[in-house]
Structure 1
Amino acid sequence: MNKSVGPGRTARRGAQVKLSDVAKKVGVSPITISRALRNPGIVSEDLREVILRMVDEMGYMPNLAARALAGRHNGVVGVITPALHQSGFTDLMVGIEDRFRDTEFTVQYSNTLRHTEGEAGLLKSFLTQKPAGVIIAGAESYCDLLPLIESAACPIAHIADLSQEPQRLVVGLDHYSAGTGPTRFLLSRGYRRIAFMGRGADVRSRRRIQGYEAVMREAGCFDPDLIIGGDAASRTGLGRDLFARLLQRVPDVDAVFAQSDEMALGVLIECKERGIRVPEDLGICGFNDLEFSAFTEPSLTTVHIPRYEIGYRVADMLMRAVREEPPDEDKADLGFTIIPRGSTR
């Protein structure tokens, strides 16, 4: 029985539309359509608009599996991340996608949700699809990943702490230094009972704890009770809860180095509730330099990580490797910057 199509609509059966069908409608060769879809910049703007309109009207869907069989790869770059849901990852994504925009590559994301055991499985899944390349953005462990990386038929790039195993196609920073730097900054502002707020859930935060502890020991100020962490659905709520617990444990705490701006905001809110003056009675330093941190009252001192630049650089590094172009560099340390604001003296 034929199904009727509503008024003003045309039947679209994209799965049955072939590249040659689109080419025939547009009046060009199939190879022109293929090249235009992979790299829109190679055809004129007028022709590009005609091709895209016809693709949309006819419901044509490129067959990535067929593309992979016909060539070296399917044109997809896989991105494996532990925290796609967190606000700090947004700028990384924008950087990655800005670099691949108007190229022959498309981007697919897969989220481990910080489950280390899933990292190798996701990489295997991507590699079976014959991708152009893969970006591993923040792996917890390379123990199971390295054999897959070494045998992969495509380039694999990394956003990583620079102490981790990959030595090629790596962009990141030294998170140990991202722990020592802010701690030294707080000490330089006259704070001594400096708490570290964060549970060390991943290799990056654990490296920052190590950096914090080294500086506090060097200054003769280390106290294990000043390190506090936990879990909660809301990071701002977690900051409030951890600070309340911290005050019970260490009443003379005079500064907090929080591992996210959201937690630092929670500390600031709790201080206002309790009448604790910031920055006179308590200094607060966040991490990530999220947009709101400049607009709180007082504004939040924080650690700026160049997330957009990291994303853009790792995508460029990978694209050069896929195209077999010489790299500008194999390993890039983009560092961090301390942004002093009103929440510290």
Structure 2
Amino acid sequence: MKNSVERRRKAERGMQVKLSDVAKKVGVSPITISRALRNPEIVSEDLREEILRTVEEMGYIPNLAARALAGRHNGIVGVITPALHQYGFAALMIGIEDCFRGTEFTVQYSSTLHHSEGEAGLLKSILTQKPAGVVIAGAESYGDLLPLMASAACPIAHVTDLSQEPQSLVVGLDHYSAGAEPTRFLLSRGYSRIAFIGRGGDVRSRRRIAGYEAVMREAGLFQEALIIGGDAPSRVALGRELFSRLLERVPDVDAVFAQSDELAFGVLIECKARGIRVPEEVGICGFNDLEFSPFIEPSLTTVHLPRQDIGRRVADMLLRAIHDEPLEEDRVDCGFSIVPRGSTR
């Protein structure tokens, strides 16, 4: 009880203490304190120890900042993703959390919300906090990231399409193949007017579209009208809307390869609303193998990505790099698999 009261009083003091108060007690200018907190290496070891001792006594600096002052990192692992709210990335996060649970590190997430121009700004912001390491999951472009990575004082690991620039601390898959192979699968089941629905808003989606198009051209079946997308992120309602628009353009479409299981579910709902039999008249293949996909009727054929395993592997790779431990592999292809279910012949 006594300890908890002391901690509360210290926290209350910290809310009242100003940077100038710390500077006055140490005997330096506020700007020196501010700079030392951001870049401890610019001050002498004696001054750094005095600042650390003072801020701890006065309760001015949060624990993580104090830790950064005392050592080479603040104990945080930063994770940058395009979207935290989507099912696919949630599974990735679970894998990352599984690896770091029980370690000395805390995971901190940042999302670009699919705005690729914000990637470099987020990375720069995280690096100024002296993290122990960073995971960049699903970056759109590395053009602005590479200079920051080159000067970073911590290891940075990546979840990428394997065509992208990072050559080490990488876990990912070839999304071109992840677009081509499901298309071949649908052809092998007797479908020929195969559409691709979903936006090509990121490099992974565009690579899958390229794989789909290559296989359809090879079969002599490609039509621009069979590719249809939307500006909104993948949602069930968008799947219904896109399939309705597709039927207006290509009434005799007989299969759909969707960018996500949510879109595929929307296609299935629209088929039922129109009395279109699945899989006899239209086959449907999704992407991601989400939790609901085996349980809808008919169950959804889809592309399974080992997202939790990808999260665990990239986190383990980063953890080893932080501790300067040797890596068996520093570039891993986790692959994918097609899961045939009731929505295809």
Give me the TM-score of the superposition, normalised by structure 2: 0.83
Aligned residue number for residue 318 of structure 1:
318
Q: CA deviation at 1:17?
A: 8.3
Q: Deviations over 1:136-170 (max 9, x none)?
A: 00000000000000111100000000000000000
Q: CA deviation at 1:62?
A: 5.9
SS where residue 120 of structure 2 aligns?
helix
Aligned residue number for residue 45 of structure 1:
none
SS where residue 212 of structure 1 aligns?
helix
Q: Which amino acid aligns with 1:214?
A: A
> Is 1:277 matched with 2:277?
yes
Looking at structure 2, the residues matched to 179 and 202 of structure 1 have their Cα atoms a distance apart, in angstroms, of: 14
Aligned residue number for residue 333 of structure 1:
333
SS where residue 13 of structure 1 aligns?
helix
Aligned residue number for residue 180 of structure 2:
180
Aligned residue number for residue 118 of structure 1:
118
**Native 8 Å contact 1:194 1:257 kept in 2:** yes
SS where residue 292 of structure 1 aligns?
coil
Looking at structure 2, the residues matched to 166 and 259 of structure 1 have their Cα atoms a distance apart, in angstroms, of: 25
**Native 8 Å contact 1:231 1:238 kept in 2:** no
SS where residue 263 of structure 1 aligns?
helix
Q: Deviations over 1:99-123 (max 9, x none)?
A: 0000011100001011111100000
Looking at structure 2, the residues matched to 184 and 233 of structure 1 have their Cα atoms a distance apart, in angstroms, of: 26
**Native 8 Å contact 2:198 2:234 kept in 1:** no
Aligned residue number for residue 216 of structure 2:
216
Looking at structure 1, the residues matched to 78 and 329 of structure 2 have their Cα atoms a distance apart, in angstroms, of: 21
Q: Deviations over 1:169-217 (max 9, x none)?
A: 0001000000001000000000000000011010000000000000000
Aligned residue number for residue 137 of structure 2:
137
Q: Deviations over 1:301-322 (max 9, x none)?
A: 0000000000000000000000
Aligned residue number for residue 13 of structure 1:
9
Q: CA deviation at 1:130?
A: 0.5
Q: How does 1:25-174 map to 2 (within 5 A)?
A: 63-174=63-174
**Native 8 Å contact 2:198 2:228 kept in 1:** yes
Aligned residue number for residue 288 of structure 1:
288
SS where residue 317 of structure 1 aligns?
helix
Q: Which amino acid aligns with 1:15?
A: A
Aligned residue number for residue 51 of structure 1:
none
Alignment size in residue pairs: 297
Looking at structure 1, the residues matched to 245 and 330 of structure 2 have their Cα atoms a distance apart, in angstroms, of: 44
Q: CA deviation at 1:232?
A: 3.9
Aligned residue number for residue 39 of structure 1:
none
Distance change (3 Å), C-alpha of 1:92 and 1:231: same
Q: Which amino acid aligns with 2:228?
A: I
SS where residue 183 of structure 1 aligns?
helix
Q: Which runs of 5+ in 1 are unaligned?
A: 1-8, 19-58
Looking at structure 2, the residues matched to 64 and 96 of structure 1 have their Cα atoms a distance apart, in angstroms, of: 20
Q: Which amino acid aligns with 1:292?
A: F
Aligned residue number for residue 54 of structure 2:
none
SS where residue 176 of structure 1 aligns?
helix
Looking at structure 2, the residues matched to 107 and 99 of structure 1 have their Cα atoms a distance apart, in angstroms, of: 10
SS where residue 278 of structure 2 aligns?
coil
Looking at structure 1, the residues matched to 214 and 162 of structure 2 have their Cα atoms a distance apart, in angstroms, of: 18
**Native 8 Å contact 1:198 1:229 kept in 2:** yes
Any runs of at least 4 consecutive aligned residues in structure 1 with deviations exceeding 2 A, and if so which?
A: 9-18, 231-234
Looking at structure 2, the residues matched to 232 and 78 of structure 1 have their Cα atoms a distance apart, in angstroms, of: 27
User: Identity, % of aligned pairs?
Assistant: 78
Distance change (3 Å), C-alpha of 1:69 and 1:245: same
Looking at structure 1, the residues matched to 218 and 233 of structure 2 have their Cα atoms a distance apart, in angstroms, of: 35
SS where residue 294 of structure 1 aligns?
coil
Higher mean displacement: 199-208 or 86-95: 86-95
Distance change (3 Å), C-alpha of 1:294 and 1:165: same
Distance change (3 Å), C-alpha of 1:233 and 1:220: closer
SS where residue 284 of structure 1 aligns?
strand
Q: CA RMSD in A?
A: 1.9
Q: CA deviation at 1:13?
A: 3.3
Looking at structure 2, the residues matched to 176 and 273 of structure 1 have their Cα atoms a distance apart, in angstroms, of: 33
Aligned residue number for residue 306 of structure 1:
306
**Native 8 Å contact 2:234 2:260 kept in 1:** no
Q: CA deviation at 1:65?
A: 1.1
SS where residue 221 of structure 1 aligns?
coil
